[in-house]
Amino acid sequence: MAEWRLWAPCKRVMPLPAWEGWPAAQLLHTELPDGQVLWLLACPALYPSSGTPYGDPAAPDLHAQALRFGFLSRVAAWLATADNTTGWHADVLHANDWPAGLAPLYLRQLRDAPGAPPAAKSVVTLHNLAFQGIFPMHLADMLQVAPIHRGIEGVEYWGQLSMLKAALQFADAITTVSPTYAAEIQQPALGAGLDGVLRVRAASLHGILNGIDTGVWNPASDPLIAMNYDSTTLAHKAANTRALRARTGLVPSTAPLFGFVGRLTTQKGIDWILASAPRWLATGAQLVVLGRGDAALEHALLDLAQAHPGSVHATLGFDETLAHLIEAGADCFLMPSRFEPCGLNQMYSMAYGTSAGGHTHRRTGRHRRRRGGTAWSVARASSWKPPARKALTPPWTVCFAPGASQNSGRVSSSAAWPVISAGATRPGSTARSIQRWQTTRPGER
């Protein structure tokens, strides 16, 4: 076990012998500093210490990947039954997206067995319906999917096995990241081929507006940025812009600095950024990109950076410190997604006083207002023109109010600093965000 490094002491190691065709493994019982108990599944044969859980995207091993996530789901379902041997069992089994999609199915199969002990209820949360965990149907035997559940009313999806569809069919409840997205995925346009299943399960489908952790994403206390600031010291944001340019090798400039953090995929509109970039880079604008994704888009971004030294920087990978510095130092955060269930980055941008710009006319979790709002929009790359510099460099047109509830939009007086809220906090908490209310010039409103 020398390869496994835990960030908290391991209080108990419970061996899991090989059973029912599943490999031998271990459950590691540990506790975080805040008291949360974690059960970690250790199986070096399935979960190597290097690489990612998804394997090599250039040469995926579907058999190994299906077994890896199937085993995780099977152990989770076992922990949700009263007769597991740990001395503890879950009251609710919460599966997130397709990697845990078989867990509600396994739990249903355990509950339906003759003489089955009491078991938990299950809920699946959808963050992005486009990712469905599709595998060949012949793997159903290895994954121990009961034959009765292999048809269209079960896991079958166009002749293949969909782990996400398994969750949608067998979870007791379904949640997703906003009420708007919950409605959208029941229609063909954004239903990703599963809209029919979701319409059938509509009574069990609930949209809960996403939010950010303002204890982590707060420019007033963020230890990862160059200089802290809030709505009363917004000028300190410029120190973070200088630090971002210095770290990424961009030349000093007063031109707008654009940032992007996220997956490098066409869903995120990276191809639109690439198509439009030469036009606005020619005006003096700069770009910093942090992310990982499609190899062709990664190479195109590196080529763009090579063609524009001192103006474009791309880091392939993920870097928590750089992600925070981009949010704090960029003048505008680019998010031209083709669709966005309820992206968090524009919420981070609101908290850091960074204008969020993108293609979509849909606001996070709600429809975008016709005037004002938290973002400027790009109709399409071919007709895009860079906003006026006055709209993106000081003095900005910024409007602050005493705080607002994310659910009602009503102004309250309990906020610690002036904000305009648009759903940047968890339900029931007070919004703490800095928002550029208008990114157009006053004469254009």
Closest CA to 323 of 343, 360, 348, 341: 348
The set of residues, in sequence order, having a beta carbon less than 8 Å from that of 376 and lying 6+ positions away, is: 355, 357, 387, 391, 439, 440
How many other CB atoms sit within 10 Å of the CB of residue 298? Answer: 17
CA–CA gap between residue 234 and residue 314 (Å, rounded): 27
pTM for this model (two decimals):
0.73
- The continuous run of DSSP H or E covering 13 comes out as strand 10-16
Are the CB atoms for 390 and 330 separated by under 8 Å? Answer: no
Q: Which two tokens stand for residue 145?
A: 């999917």
CA–CA gap between residue 279 and residue 95 (Å, rounded): 44
Per-residue pLDDT of the chain (445 residues; tens, 9 = 90+): 334 455 567 788 999 999 888 999 999 999 888 888 889 999 988 887 677 777 776 677 899 999 999 999 999 999 999 989 998 889 999 999 999 999 999 999 999 999 888 899 999 999 989 999 999 999 999 999 999 999 999 999 999 999 999 999 999 999 999 999 999 999 999 999 999 999 999 999 999 998 899 999 999 999 999 999 999 999 999 999 999 999 999 999 999 999 999 999 998 999 999 999 999 999 999 999 999 999 999 999 999 999 999 999 999 999 999 999 999 999 999 999 888 787 789 899 999 999 887 654 444 444 333 333 333 333 333 333 444 333 333 222 222 222 222 222 222 222 222 222 222 223 332 222 222 222 322 222 2
Q: What are phi and psi of 170, to 5 degrees?
A: -115, -10
CA–CA gap between residue 410 and residue 413 (Å, rounded): 10
pLDDT, residue 8, reads: 61
Q: What are phi and psi of 76, to 5 degrees?
A: -60, -40
pLDDT, residue 7, reads: 57
DSSP conformation letters of 243-277? HHHHHHTPPP-SS-EEEEEEEESTTTTHHHHHHHH
For residue 187, give the amino acid letter. Answer: Q
Name the packing angle between helices 163-170 and 102-112 (round to 10°).
Answer: 50
pLDDT, residue 54, reads: 78
Q: Where do we find the tokens 């149907």? A: 137
User: Within 13 Å of residue 275, how many CA atoms lie on the same side as its CB?
Assistant: 12
CA–CA gap between residue 119 and residue 169 (Å, rounded): 18
Q: Name the DSSP letter for residue 357.
A: E
CA–CA gap between residue 378 and residue 438 (Å, rounded): 15
Are the CB atoms for 132 and 99 separated by under 8 Å? Answer: no
